[in-house]
Amino acid sequence: MKSSSKSDAAEGGESLRTVVIAFVANLGVAIAKTFAAVFTGSASMVAEAAHSWADTGNEIFLLVANRRGSRGPDDRRPLGYGRETYFWSTLAAIGLFVAGAAVSVWHGITSLLAGESSSENYLVAYVVLAVAFLLEGISFLQSVRQIRGEAAEYDKDFLDYALETSDPTLRAVFAEDSAALIGIVIAGVGIGLHQLTGSAAFDAIGSILVGVLLGIVAFVLIDRNRRFLTGEPGSRALWNAVVQRIEQLPEVASVRFVRIEFVGPKQIYVVASVDLVGDFAESRIAHTLRRLERELETNRAVVDAVLTVAEPDEGDIGDVNAVAQQP
């Protein structure tokens, strides 16, 4: 477990910067794509415009998530407000599904059935898609830079960290920007085939494919947020690190049970049952446990720690609840 508060604060600021860059990029792209959609009548451009407006709205939800989730513990919320981050990020993912995926698929199907043919202003569409790819690429590279840095710090694979990180805003920006770049390529291919063949069906199919892509991304984001909202215990590596840290406390003879739960981005709640070294007077046990808890809580990632003395018949650490050990 990392213990540098400066490192955690820097990561929080980096996540906010990543979301702000994504918001500015998506807003510019949404305006440009809307102009191109109106000017060309392309179904793929309509889908891409809907996609970018959905992303822009989602960044607002992510900014709210970052702000509200960063509040510290108080009397009403002793574990802090970190879980609000997952709630607002879930709303952003739902918005991506409704405003992006559903609109794109619906427009593509109606265009396919109606056999609509857009105007031949292909150059405008290509220029706008190129500009959009550039702007989305800037935002994408920012999220990649942050993920690569944090993945290296925690000694994890890039893609594994992107999917498993407890920071939902970072995961959302990376996933949405990845989908945006793929969507731009799909739209470009659809418009290009329309231009080559004269059939607007390719353009409409491009719109449908963009919608399906957004739906898949939205589902993955919603599922990840669901796991953290309902009590994500983290990886086995994290569990091992927590056990090792508790075992390093000089007053702890052995660890019998550990339960970890994420209560916010890079914030965990720890419950553990331990054997203490030597024979403590009953009056000193509670005092000793509270002191050990405070020592664990010096790690910024540990929002709260609760230690209890193990019962005589309590199993060994190897028999701990399997849920707490899942990868």
pLDDT, position 2: 54
- 275 is written with which tokens? 């054997």
**41 conformational bin, left if phi > 0, alpha if psi -120 to 50, beta if neither:** left
pLDDT, position 1: 57
pLDDT tens digits for range 5-25: 445 555 567 788 889 999 999
Architecture in CATH of 236-325: 2-Layer Sandwich (3.30)
CATH number for the region 5-229 comes to: 1.20.1510.10
Q: Could you tell me the pLDDT band of residue 322, with boundaries at 50, 70 and 90? A: very low
Lowest mean pLDDT among 18-27, 157-166, 311-320: 311-320
* Separation of alpha carbons 109 and 43, rounded Å: 10
> Where do the structural domains in the chain lie, given as residue ranges?
5-229, 236-325
| Helix or strand holding residue 28 (H, E) | helix 5-40
**314 conformational bin, left if phi > 0, alpha if psi -120 to 50, beta if neither:** beta
pLDDT, position 157: 93
pLDDT, position 316: 56
